Each structure stands twice: as structure tokens, then as C-alpha cells.
Amino acid sequence: MNRYSIITDKNPREIVLLRGSGCRWRRCTFCDYHTDSSPDEAANFALNRTVLEQITGEYGRLEVINSGSFVDLDGCTVDLLTQICQRRSIHTLHIECHWMHRDALAPFRERFAAVGTDVIFKIGVETFDADFRERILRKGIGRISAAEIAAAGFGEVNLLCGLAGQTAASMTADIECGLAHFSRVCVNLMVENTTPIKPDPEAVRAFLEEVVPRYKDDLRVDILVENTDFGVGE
């Protein structure tokens, strides 16, 4: 599995895929990413150290993903990440967090501010249709609005497209809502995995033919047709 890459087109940055103890929610019906985890903190840190030591600071921006939330990373990994950000002059750190850990955002942000790094938190919302999000996808966010999510401290969102029931209009509405309330939107096309949720051919077609052309050049929108398009994962 590749765990380090460089994104050069939109919002140039380095990106690393670290390993933690695993997402504590683990109820999303479409997600099996939490399988990239281990309860062995020492082993996780040994792996994460080899990944973090590849960071050069070339762009001053770093994105960290770990198939869960930053709170799932062991303390030694977070300590080293802090040191790397300071050592490599990382001015902006993008990192993911589930809604259930929103109270952990402020302390984490303060910790990195002390070494000169601004933290932007990304949340997997998948859709702003709260009924679809909670009843079908079981995200565990509740029926709150985009404005409320942003007000809680999240600056970026992940959206999921290509599902049964989605249309070009609904997927476009999600992206527009994201752009109205957050600094960046990352749009992921659903790919087949081990979960019962599968890509819907008509929704995939609508996404690729009607949605992607509209946003492919938007510098605030990342589009992942494959979940490895950022260069990490497998």
C-alpha cells in the first residue's frame, strides 16, 4: 500500500495515509476503510514514522488521512507529526475528523498553532440530504445543516456520489452547498468494496457526464473517480 504522495494540480500539497486504531464510529454502510487499522500502537507508530519521515515540506501544505479521525492516531505519531510540521515549515495541515469528535478540534488546533501550523479539519458528510445521509448511509452526524457543521470548526467536506437515488441535480446541489459553506470540497465517486452499498450505473453516468465537466477546473473542488487518485491507498 502506498502511503505517501504529492498532489500537484489543485491545492498542491503532500499527502500521507497513516494507520491508527481505526474509526470509532464504524457504522457507515458504505465504508470499509476502517480495516486499515491496528490496536498495536507501537506497530502503528513504527509504520507511521517511516511515512512521516518522507515529508519534505515542498509546498508548505500537508494532508493527513488515516481511515478514521485524527483522534485514532497514537500519541507518539501525533507528537512526531507536530515535530515534522515545525521542522518542515508546514504552514497548513489538512486532517480528517468524524462529527462525534468535534470537541477535540480546538485543542488539536491550538497544539499545532504553537508550532506555526494552521489546521483545517475535513469531515465526511457524503451528502447534505440529512435523511439520505442518516437513514441510508448511517453517518452519525444527525440532521444538522451545512452551516452548523461549519460553525463547529470544520473547514472542508468529503462528498460521495454515484449512489442509487442520486441524480445530476442532487449531486450538483451537494457540491454547491459545500462550496457555499466550506473552503474546499472533495468529491468521491463510489467504488465497489466489501459493503452492501454499491455504485449505481445511472448515478455514475450522470456524475461523469454531467457533474464532472462542470467542476473539473474548479480549484476548490477535488474529484476522485478512483479512491486512489490522490496517490495513496490500494
Amino acid code (one letter) for 5 = S
Q: Are strands 4-7 and 13-17 parallel, antiparallel or unpaired?
A: antiparallel
Taking residues 80-88, what's their average pLDDT? 98
| Residue 31 confidence (pLDDT) | 94
Residue 231 lies in a domain: no
Q: What is the pTM (predicted TM-score) of this model? A: 0.95
| Residue 162 confidence (pLDDT) | 98
Residue 229 lies in a domain: no
| Residue 24 confidence (pLDDT) | 94
Q: What are the backbone angles phi and psi of residue 35, rounded to the nearest 5°?
A: -70, -20
Taking residues 112-117, what's their average pLDDT? 98
Q: How confident is the model at residue 223 (pLDDT cuts 50, 70, 90)?
A: very high
Find residue 189's DSSP bridge partners.
161
Amino acid code (one letter) for 70 = F
Three-state SS at 65: strand
Residue 232 lies in a domain: no
Residues 48/77, Cβ–Cβ less than 8 Å: yes
Instruction: Kindly report, residue by residue over 161-197, the tens digit of the pLDDT.
Output: 999 999 999 999 999 999 999 999 999 999 999 999 9
Amino acid code (one letter) for 163 = L
| Residue 87 confidence (pLDDT) | 98
Residue 9 lies in a domain: yes
**Percent of the chain topping pLDDT 70:** 100
Domain count within the chain: 1
Q: What residues contact 225, with CB distance under 8 A and at least 6 apart? A: 189, 208, 212
Residue 16 lies in a domain: yes
The C-alpha angle 175, 176, 178, rounded to 5 degrees, equals: 65
Taking the C-alpha atoms of residue 232 and residue 234, their distance in angstroms, rounded to an integer, is 7
Taking residues 120-128, what's their average pLDDT? 98
| Residue 168 confidence (pLDDT) | 98
Mutual angle of helices 75-87 and 105-113, in 10-degree steps: 40
Residue 210 lies in a domain: yes
| Residue 33 confidence (pLDDT) | 85
Domain around 144: 4-224
CATH code, domain with 38: 3.20.20.70
95, 93, 154, 97: which is closest to 118 by C-alpha? 93
DSSP 8-state secondary structure symbol assigned to residue 132: I
Residue 233 lies in a domain: no
Residue 230 lies in a domain: no
Instruction: Kindly report, residue by residue over 126-175, the tens digit of the pLDDT.
Output: 999 999 999 999 999 999 999 999 999 999 999 999 999 999 999 999 99
Instruction: Kindly report, residue by residue over 1-48, the tens digit of the pLDDT.
Output: 899 999 999 999 999 999 999 999 999 999 998 889 999 999 999 999
